[in-house]
Structure 1
Amino acid sequence: MKLGIGIGWRPEIAAEVEALKGIDWVEAVAENLCADHLPDSLVRLRDRGVTVVPHGVSLGLGGADRPDAERLAGLAARAELLGTPLVTEHIAFVRAGGPLTATPRLEAGHLLPVPRTWDALEVLCENVRIAQDSLPVPLALENIAALISWPDEELTEGQFLAELVERTGVRLLIDVANLHTNHVNRGEDPAKALDELPVEAIAYVHVAGGIEKNGVWHDTHAHPVTAPVLGVLAELRSRVDPPGVLLERDDAFPPGAELAAELETIRATLRTAAPTADSRTRRSAEADASATGPGASATETGASAAGLGVGATEADAFATGPGVGATEADASATGPGASATGSGARTETPAARAEAGVARTETLPARPGARDRTAVAQTALLSALVAGTPAPERFDHRRLRVQSRALAAKRAGVVAKVAPELPEILGDGYRAAFLAYARSRPMSGGYRRDALDFAEHVLISGGLPDPVAQRRLTHWWEDRSGTRPPRRTTRLVRAARAVLVGK
């Protein structure tokens, strides 16, 4: 399905998006839409024939828990309401703890990277299958940007995505800005990732801006798209013509003319990078030479042709189901000690599996213990990031501090949006007060709950010497924490008092 050129729809730029010329489709954050009612702007866009794709951010399909049925039902309802051809989510975890670890539930408030291990892959694949069975349209998953790396990873990003697609049939949403982010922050080569992942599975592409500070790339979605990100987009376009490309902007929104200019730059990049007949022939010849050059074995040729460089592990045998054993060639190529990213290339290609009648999209449970091991690892990391517990072994402590500060800053910003009265009441002291609160009080129930908990913390700690601000914050908290809103008479009395005291 061809989507074309699109832009992320946000309420703050709804009018600008409607006025843009040449927009084929838009993407809206699913959790920001009601399940039974669309904003008027989206209704008008749909009436013009503009496709609207819901983009989820809260499922946490990479988490150790199975997907929440209520969240899945909500995403399905939004897909039905929009009449969309697909829905999208992220390869990430967003919460940890709970029954699997017998610890308090923790919320990240942001997308965090899953470890590229066979355990995490199996958990992710089972969660994806559960989601696919619950949704009325196909699902596509996005690679995320990361500030931190997990130690002892067994797969590269491209290999991890290739295995995910092969096992589940899920589509991919490739964010080229995130590939650039991981290049700066984790030393990963975007071109290598594009070479390893199955580009034919791409549903569409994200392009977004960011900024580099002290050697760390922050994927802000609040800055113009940079030349390096456009370079990754060109690399992708030289390999495949993506069905859709979308510009994301989530904050510090520029005028409509600047958005239009960025969209035109994206179009120009796609046109310039489109491969010619000569370049396609040359690329094909280079690939053949690389696959069958001196010293290349027949099994290496098969792996290269399939676009896979994943090493064999016990996960392969489990994923292919009972009765499917490794061949002697497999055992030889991946003998004891061979790593997933080392020289022992897996010889079991998709074509070989098809000939053997092996289906990689069966709904199989994750290997026993995989969920428990993933839960312990993710809980330890998230607890260090949001609750101040000791950092897990072999993580980069400096990067963990950067990530922790970024999560707290994001919490402060989102709470200010969902509860704008709080920064108004607290004034210039809001941000410092919230960051101090967030250092030892992890989020456990979403941003609105977080806003209430923060207000309660300020009231209890006596952090407001101004009696007027203290009274306003008290009333704000009481109005939202009770089982029902205050009566009209109560609101009128409060308003009159505010006038009498001059506030």
Structure 2
Amino acid sequence: MTELGIGIGWRPEIAEAVEALPGVDWVEVVAENICAGHLPDSLIRLRERGVTVVPHGVSLGLGGADRPDPARLAALGEKALALGAPLVTEHIAFVRAGGPLTATPLLEAGHLLPVPRTRDALDVLCENVRIAQEALPVPLALENIAALISWPGEEMTEGRFLAELVERTGVRLLVDVANLHTNHVNRGEDPAKALSELPVDAIAYVHVAGGVERDGVWHDTHAHPVPPAVLGVLADLASRVAPPGVLLERDDDFPAARELAGELESIRGTVTKARTGAGGGGSPRAKAVPAARLSPVRSVTAAQPLLIGAGARVSGGPMPGAPLVADPTTSTGPASTTTTDLTSDPTPTTAPAPAPSDGARQRVGVAQASLLSALVAGTPVPEGFDSRRIGVQSRALAAKRAGVVAKVAPELPEILGGGFRPAFLAYARSRPMTGGYRRDALDFAEHLLLADRPEDPEARRRLTEWWQDRSGSRPPGRATRLVRAARHALVRR
């Protein structure tokens, strides 16, 4: 297992600060925010210093009903090779639903949504993970996610679900202790129970992040300091097993560098104290997994070239519609942070499990499409879900869309002023995202222009020019408006 140490998420906004932070052993970068052939200068400098960089994907949707997109897998693999990464990570989540499998419109969540902990969903997830493992050039680790909502009729706890996933695929785990805390507040799930059921020897590394509680709901914002409760979950985990790496995530409202340094020191101290209290060994409650069942970690050193080698697949640049995120880091970590443990036999040792039936994929697909449609298109809430929580999640998704669109298209808030956010939220209530955030920005601008908005002629002229420059189109005529209105009505059904 690769020994990573203490790290931080690399974000463009704090790239310089991260390079100067003391005590950073490694960094993680959101994969969709970089291009393999044009790495940010900051990441190149970190790599030249011997700092390990791990790409962290957010758009594969391995928990979705469809099989993984080969182009997305190829792009993720290219970035791992370009960074010389010892592994890549993704999430146990679905991010889109609908399409041919369910004969419904394809919808994008723009967010990580929980999969139901059922046998059908586990079968689908396991096959998707195996497909990803075969396609990627380095080992894969998967992260547990935070959730505001619970699926009705679940058949397993989160710990049991993850344990069976590891048992059947050999995949490693990225354990997010902030997400365990979020699910404790929002869904009443005990973090200690989840940790006691986890195969701790499968942990690749750990995420730590801050959030905030509003009206009894914990929002995993990554924009607030790490609270004591999250550090408490980290301490519990560290008392059971020595985590190979621990990483601080911060995505917004970035504090001064000294505050980031203080949080990193607090994380380091929490782990050290927990390990000392545990006598340097894991708790007897910790569940181990035989090493032979885990995906082998291939050797990658800091000296590995930053260019993709011959024979690597090239997909032609960044994936369309990728969510906007990023991370910062810096480090002069020990030698152990630049090399991975060697495993001589790269042959998978897990016994192959039967592939899920088409019926299982379709059942999972229909359930996920129904939920996502309720969240982003205003359709009725599926039976068994908490309507109030669905409303909270729906508003949170719309608010996230507004925030990301404002980042990828900063001209829109500039043109619309204080009217941008309320106008976008009104638009998002019934118009789901069917592409990426950049497409969403164009669709929003077109929606306003079709309604002869904004009312101010100068603002409308500027918005028209912005939309034309990026869409390459003239404003749609009446016939086009009618066709698009009819198409929108079909999506709403």
Cα deviation per residue 1:434-485 (whole Å; 9 max; x = unaligned)?
A: 000000100001100000000000111122111111110000000000179x
- Matched residues in 2 for 1:124 and 1:279: separation? 35
Partner of 2:370: 380
Q: Residues 8 and 26 of structure 1 are in contact (CA less than 8 Å); yes or no, is this contact kept in structure 2?
A: yes
1:182-193 matches, cutoff 5 A? 182-193=183-194
Partner of 2:139: 138
Work out whether 1:24 is the aligned partner of 2:14. no
- Relative to structure 1, the CA distance from residue 160 to residue 41 in structure 2 (aligned partners, 3 Å threshold; closer, same or farther) is same
Partner of 1:481: 471
Which of residues 441, 446, 455 in structure 2 aligns to 1:451? Answer: 441
Secondary structure of 2:9 counterpart = strand
Secondary structure of 1:53 counterpart = strand
- Matched residues in 1 for 2:44 and 2:96: separation? 33
Q: Residues 206 and 245 of structure 1 are in contact (CA less than 8 Å); yes or no, is this contact kept in structure 2?
A: yes
Deviation at 1:370, TM superposition (A): 0.8
1:426-445 matches, cutoff 5 A? 426-445=416-435
Partner of 2:95: 94
Q: Residues 196 and 287 of structure 2 are in contact (CA less than 8 Å); yes or no, is this contact kept in structure 1?
A: no
Amino acid at match of 1:110: H
Partner of 1:199: 200
Deviation at 1:35, TM superposition (A): 2.4
- Matched residues in 1 for 2:277 and 2:235: separation? 13
Deviation at 1:367, TM superposition (A): 3.2
Partner of 1:9: 10
Work out whether 1:401 is the aligned partner of 2:391. yes
Larger radius of gyration: 1
Q: Residues 90 and 143 of structure 1 are in contact (CA less than 8 Å); yes or no, is this contact kept in structure 2?
A: yes
1:49-198 matches, cutoff 5 A? 49-198=50-199
Q: Residues 169 and 361 of structure 1 are in contact (CA less than 8 Å); yes or no, is this contact kept in structure 2?
A: no
TM-score (norm 2): 0.82
Deviation at 1:277, TM superposition (A): 6.5
Cα deviation per residue 1:48-77 (whole Å; 9 max; x = unaligned)?
A: 110100000000000000001111111011
Deviation at 1:305, TM superposition (A): 7.0
Partner of 1:319: none
- Relative to structure 1, the CA distance from residue 361 to residue 433 in structure 2 (aligned partners, 3 Å threshold; closer, same or farther) is farther
Q: Residues 3 and 243 of structure 1 are in contact (CA less than 8 Å); yes or no, is this contact kept in structure 2?
A: yes
**C-alpha RMSD of the superposition:** 1.8
Amino acid at match of 1:52: V
- Matched residues in 1 for 2:279 and 2:154: separation? 38
- Matched residues in 1 for 2:241 and 2:275: separation? 8
Partner of 2:410: 420
Amino acid at match of 1:446: G
Secondary structure of 1:471 counterpart = helix
Cα deviation per residue 1:68-104 (whole Å; 9 max; x = unaligned)?
A: 1111111011011101000000000000000011011
- Relative to structure 1, the CA distance from residue 3 to residue 483 in structure 2 (aligned partners, 3 Å threshold; closer, same or farther) is farther
Q: Residues 197 and 307 of structure 1 are in contact (CA less than 8 Å); yes or no, is this contact kept in structure 2?
A: no
- Matched residues in 2 for 1:254 and 1:402: separation? 27
**Identity across the alignment (%):** 76
Which has a greater percent of helix? Answer: 1
Secondary structure of 1:479 counterpart = helix
Amino acid at match of 1:478: Q
- Matched residues in 2 for 1:160 and 1:230: separation? 24
Cα deviation per residue 1:172-194 (whole Å; 9 max; x = unaligned)?
A: 00000000000000000000000
1:259-274 matches, cutoff 5 A? 259-274=260-275
- Relative to structure 1, the CA distance from residue 242 to residue 306 in structure 2 (aligned partners, 3 Å threshold; closer, same or farther) is closer
Partner of 2:318: none
TM-score (norm 1): 0.80
Deviation at 1:365, TM superposition (A): 1.7
- Relative to structure 1, the CA distance from residue 134 to residue 17 in structure 2 (aligned partners, 3 Å threshold; closer, same or farther) is same
- Matched residues in 2 for 1:379 and 1:277: separation? 45
Deviation at 1:397, TM superposition (A): 0.4
- Matched residues in 2 for 1:380 and 1:275: separation? 48
Secondary structure of 1:274 counterpart = helix
1:343-358 matches, cutoff 5 A? none
Structure 1: 4+ residue segments shifted above 3 A: 275-281, 304-308, 358-361
Give unmatched runs, 5+ long, in structure 1.
Answer: 288-303, 309-357, 485-503
Cα deviation per residue 1:321-368 (whole Å; 9 max; x = unaligned)?
A: xxxxxxxxxxxxxxxxxxxxxxxxxxxxxxxxxxxxx97442642134
- Matched residues in 2 for 1:280 and 1:262: separation? 25
Partner of 1:333: none
Q: Residues 106 and 434 of structure 2 are in contact (CA less than 8 Å); yes or no, is this contact kept in structure 1?
A: yes
Amino acid at match of 2:157: T
Q: Residues 176 and 206 of structure 2 are in contact (CA less than 8 Å); yes or no, is this contact kept in structure 1?
A: yes
- Relative to structure 1, the CA distance from residue 118 to residue 359 in structure 2 (aligned partners, 3 Å threshold; closer, same or farther) is farther
- Relative to structure 1, the CA distance from residue 275 to residue 151 in structure 2 (aligned partners, 3 Å threshold; closer, same or farther) is farther
- Matched residues in 1 for 2:473 and 2:423: separation? 27
Instruction: Out of 359-368 and 230-239, give the one that drifted further.
Output: 359-368
- Matched residues in 2 for 1:482 and 1:305: separation? 57
Q: Residues 145 and 178 of structure 1 are in contact (CA less than 8 Å); yes or no, is this contact kept in structure 2?
A: yes
1:247-266 matches, cutoff 5 A? 247-266=248-267
